[in-house]
Amino acid sequence: MKNKLIPLWFCPFMAILVLLLSGCSSIKSVPKNDALYTGASIKMTPSAISSKQKKALQNTLEDLARPKPNSRALGIPFKLWMYNLGSKKGLGAWLRRKYGEAPVLLSEVKLSRNTAILDNYLENRGFFQVKVRGDTTVKGKKASAEYTVTTGPEYKIKSITFPSDSGILGSSIRATQSKTLLVPGAPFNLDLIKGERTRIDMELKEQGFYFFSGEYLLIETDSTIGSYEVNLYLQVKPETPAEARQTYEINNVYIYPNYNLSTVSPDTNLANAELYRGGYYVIDSSKLFRQRVFEQSMQFLPGDLYSRKDHNTTLSWLINLGSFKFVKNRFEAVLDSTKLNAFYYLNPLPKQSLRAELTGTSKTNNLIGSQVTLGWRHRNIFRGAEHLSLNLFGSTEVQVSGNFGKSNPYRVGGELSLSIPRFVVPFLDIRGRSEFVPRTNLQLGYELLNRQNLYTLNSFSGSLGYTWKENLQKEHQLHPFTFNYVRPLAIAQQYLDSIAKNPSLSKIVEEQFIVGSTYNYNYNELAGSNRRTGIYFNGLLDIAGNIAGLVNGSNWKNGEVGTIFGVKFAQFAKAEVDLRYYKRIDQRSQWVNRLIMGFGYPYGNSRQLPFVKQFFAGGNNSLRGFRSRTVGPGRYSPPNRDNPAVLFLPDQSGDIKLEFNSEYRPKLFSIVEGALFMDAGNVWLFNEDPLKPGAQFSSNFLKELAIDAGFGLRLDFTILLLRLDFAFPLKVPYLDKVPNNNMVFNLAIGYPF
């Protein structure tokens, strides 16, 4: 990723391109005796429906009309222009196929077919007295269609009658009536009726009706009762088979944890099955997994009624263990009974694997380089589906521009981690019924950073924590114990001289020892769905040094410094909130807003948060009109910010952060998306720092916000999204006037938020 200043005269290029293309004729390739079809409009005659409902119906009906006119972006048919610019042979033919779109013609419009489709849709929505007429209008070589719709009153549901038979199926269906979607007063709607059938089917699947299907339900409608109302009658189809009318319970559960896909008939060796605690039969002479793995995964017990939720939860657990390549199952009815045998076939992944990765990097501080990673993983280290992994890495980077001098860094390090698919808590046995596997994670890491001619840092880290999900949208991460220790090995005289001129640089190389706990909660309303409107929330609480501080009684204000093993430790409480709202404007555009609030309270041993825990602002995922980590704190400006002759590392940090971003994302054409955005924010220090005047948070914080705006393009290649943003600052906290010719170009991968 890279930021680059570009001149303001670049801005008019897009406008000039649009003007040039506007000279293209959209009717160039329209045959004689035909016309370019520009779309359909719906005219609604006065009726009893509300204006809001009328507008919604118009939009839906326009979307149902076929064919669709040529696609447009910002009102311009770019694809049609590309088609007209092409030719039948050579490069022009390729241009047409790749980027063009043939003109949609009036001769393709079938009025009678469209009127039938619109009529049928409205009847399914409860407009039983609907009338639809269609006509076309031709002006020169362009034509449009208009459909006049008279809906009449919308019919409402008066009552719903459930089956009255005394059988187990009828009784079970009646027991769900309190949750019906077909309530009196609701509009008659075919989609609502389909939803009711699906609801009943799901309810019955939880009560043991394994062979039942919503297709066996029939809902009859009586629309002759008057007052524009209907009575609904729910029935079970007479042809419903006997097995669909019965509940089924689990008989035996057979598990094949070492299943081979080439096995033709695995169920022939049931005589070798070993009965495990809980009533499960396991067929595995190699004893690949411990008994506990299946006790946790299997939600069925012999004698339980079949439940689709338990069925899906079991499959989800087995898949999310990460130890199996394929997981499949089947249920088999036991002859002359209402019982089911369950079979689970698990094809294990290789126990151990090695991988090597070579990656290229481009960063916002004008460093480019590469990293080599060697990884080893064992997927069943203690026969309990535990994953043990070791990653070793080395990277080097080269300064291609800027004013860091010859300080090209390299890094080497490694990480050892163990992931256990359950809660491991001393003296407690915690088990859940969620469809997601909880995990206990242990991690140890080491990194050596050498910034040539400046400094060398040693960094050690470790954590013990738990990760679990309530559902697809809600995730928790709790780390009762974390530590991070950073120690400088060497500091060059050049850097020491720079510290003398800019004392804030000393914070980067100070010794840091952090021992604490963290909790993170994530809620994503859009996860697992195709929705484009919803909320994303991420909250973090980070506390360090509280117990050690109570023992030591340290206080930096009085010069009392507490240590652990002779090393000064950090004390702070930190909270951070990332709140986003994604709003779908229409089929082709979205509006996204993000608010970040961070607050760090240093106390005891700490005047400020440790550098690795502080907040930063600026960069291609933050304030895009400013270089990475250059904003703030407050109104403070480093003395050598704009002096290339003196070392300046743009790592301006703070204990408090406020940032707001707003971005409009329209889809332009093909894989190209656009963006219009505005960013505002800053970071501040909690306590006053004499070396950084204007950096402390105060009641004037709103006047100290940095503000920028800009536009961008996104190229969505499915496997990755390439982002280009052009931004310029509107307000710089430490300047009275924003300088000219300071547009910033950001190149990045993925959305900024």
Torsion (CA) 501, 504, 505, 508 in degrees, nearest 10: 170
Give me the sign of the Cα torsion angle 557, 559, 564, 566.
positive
How far, in Å, CA of 173 to CA of 670, rounded?
48
What is the per-residue pLDDT across 80-97, written as a single tens digit (0 to 9) for each? 888 888 777 777 788 888
Supply 198's token pair.
Answer: 């699906």
What is the per-residue pLDDT across 512-560, written as a single tens digit (0 to 9) for each? 889 999 999 999 999 877 788 999 999 999 999 766 555 565 666 666 6
Same fold, 156-245 and 249-348: yes
How far, in Å, CA of 629 to CA of 651, rounded?
5
The helix/strand count (H/E) of the chain reads as 11, 30
How far, in Å, CA of 210 to CA of 305, rounded?
9
Supply 581's token pair.
Answer: 């709202």
How far, in Å, CA of 675 to CA of 531, rounded?
20
Given a cut of 60, is residue 10 above it in pLDDT? Answer: no
Given a cut of 50, is residue 608 above it in pLDDT? Answer: yes
Q: Which residue has the tokens 């007063």?
A: 185
Given a cut of 60, is residue 403 above it in pLDDT? Answer: no
Question: From residue 195, how far is each of 119, 198, 199, 219 by CA, in Å?
Answer: 22, 5, 6, 12
Stretch 438-452: mean pLDDT: 92
Q: Which residue has the higher pLDDT, 553 or 596?
A: 596
User: Which residues, in sequence order, are bridge partners of residue 664?
Assistant: 591, 676
In this prediction, residue 748 has a pLDDT band, given cuts at 50, 70 and 90, of: confident
How far, in Å, CA of 472 to CA of 175, rounded?
29
CB atoms within 10 A of CB 643: 12
Helix (H, G, I), strand (E, B) or coil at 248: coil
Torsion (CA) 222, 225, 229, 234 in degrees, nearest 10: -30
Q: What is the pTM of this model?
A: 0.76
Given a cut of 50, is residue 22 above it in pLDDT? Answer: no
In this prediction, residue 19 has a pLDDT band, given cuts at 50, 70 and 90, of: very low
**Nearest 5°: phi and psi at 313?**
-65, -40
What is the per-residue pLDDT across 215-263, written as a single tens digit (0 to 9) for each? 999 999 998 898 899 999 999 999 999 999 999 999 999 999 988 877 6
Q: Where are the domains of the chain?
A: 2-150, 156-245, 249-348, 498-519+544-749
Question: Nearest to residue 237, comparing CAs of 178, 188, 182, 169?
Answer: 169
In this prediction, residue 373 has a pLDDT band, given cuts at 50, 70 and 90, of: very high
The residues, any chain, with a CB within 8 Å of residue 105's CB and separated by 6 or more, are 30, 31, 34, 35, 36, 37
pLDDT, position 646: 53
pLDDT, position 5: 43
Average pLDDT over the chain, rounded to whole? 85
What is the per-residue pLDDT across 37-53, written as a single tens digit (0 to 9) for each? 999 999 988 766 778 88
Q: Secondary structure of 540-594 in the HEC alphabet?
A: EEEEECHHHHHHHCCEHHHCECCEECCEECCCEEEEEEEEEEEEEEECCEEEEEE
pLDDT, position 360: 61
Question: pLDDT exceeding 90 applies to what percent of the chain?
Answer: 49
Long-range contacts of 428-431 (CB under 8 A, 24+ apart): 431/296
How far, in Å, CA of 205 to CA of 201, rounded?
6
Would you state the CATH architecture of domain 498-519+544-749?
Beta Barrel (2.40)
Q: What CATH code is assigned to 249-348? A: 3.10.20.310
Given a cut of 50, is residue 501 above it in pLDDT? Answer: yes
Q: Are the beta carbons of 505 and 498 closer than 8 angstroms?
A: yes
Q: How many CA atoms lie within 13 A of 518 on its CB side?
A: 21
Given a cut of 70, is residue 401 above it in pLDDT? Answer: no
In this prediction, residue 12 has a pLDDT band, given cuts at 50, 70 and 90, of: very low
What is the per-residue pLDDT across 665-723, written as a single tens digit (0 to 9) for each? 998 887 889 999 999 999 999 999 888 889 999 999 999 999 999 999 999 887 888 88
In this prediction, residue 649 has a pLDDT band, given cuts at 50, 70 and 90, of: low
What is the per-residue pLDDT across 176-195, written as a single tens digit (0 to 9) for each? 999 999 999 999 999 999 99
How far, in Å, CA of 682 to CA of 660, rounded?
10
Q: Are strands 142-150 and 36-44 parallel, antiparallel or unpaired?
A: parallel
Question: From residue 655, how far is each of 127, 462, 599 by CA, in Å?
Answer: 61, 23, 6
Stretch 287-291: mean pLDDT: 88
Stretch 430-443: mean pLDDT: 84
Question: Nearest to residue 682, comparing CAs of 742, 729, 637, 618?
Answer: 618
Given a cut of 80, is residue 630 above it in pLDDT? Answer: yes
What is the per-residue pLDDT across 382-399, written as a single tens digit (0 to 9) for each? 999 999 999 999 988 765
How far, in Å, CA of 431 to CA of 423, rounded?
7
Given a cut of 50, is residue 21 above it in pLDDT? Answer: no
What is the per-residue pLDDT across 712-745, written as a single tens digit (0 to 9) for each? 999 988 788 888 999 999 999 988 888 776 888 8
CB atoms within 10 A of CB 489: 12
Question: Nearest to residue 741, comparing CAs of 2, 6, 110?
Answer: 6
pLDDT, position 6: 42
Give me the sign of the Cα torsion angle 735, 736, 742, 747.
positive
Q: Are the beta carbons of 625 and 727 closer than 8 angstroms?
A: yes
Give me the sign of the Cα torsion angle 623, 629, 633, 635.
negative
Given a cut of 60, is residue 362 above it in pLDDT? Answer: no
CB atoms within 10 A of CB 135: 11
How far, in Å, CA of 52 to CA of 35, rounded?
34
Out of 3.40.50.460, 3.40.190.10, 2.40.10.10, 3.10.20.310, select the CATH number for domain 156-245: 3.10.20.310
Give me the sign of the Cα torsion angle 725, 731, 735, 740.
positive
Residue 233 class from Cβ within 10 Å (0-12 exposed, 13-18 middle, 19+ buried)? Answer: middle
Q: Are the beta carbons of 42 and 62 closer than 8 angstroms?
A: yes
Given a cut of 80, is residue 400 above it in pLDDT? Answer: no
Distance of CA 734 to the CA centre of its chain: 36
Stretch 142-161: mean pLDDT: 92
Question: From residue 490, how far is each of 437, 449, 511 by CA, in Å?
Answer: 45, 11, 12
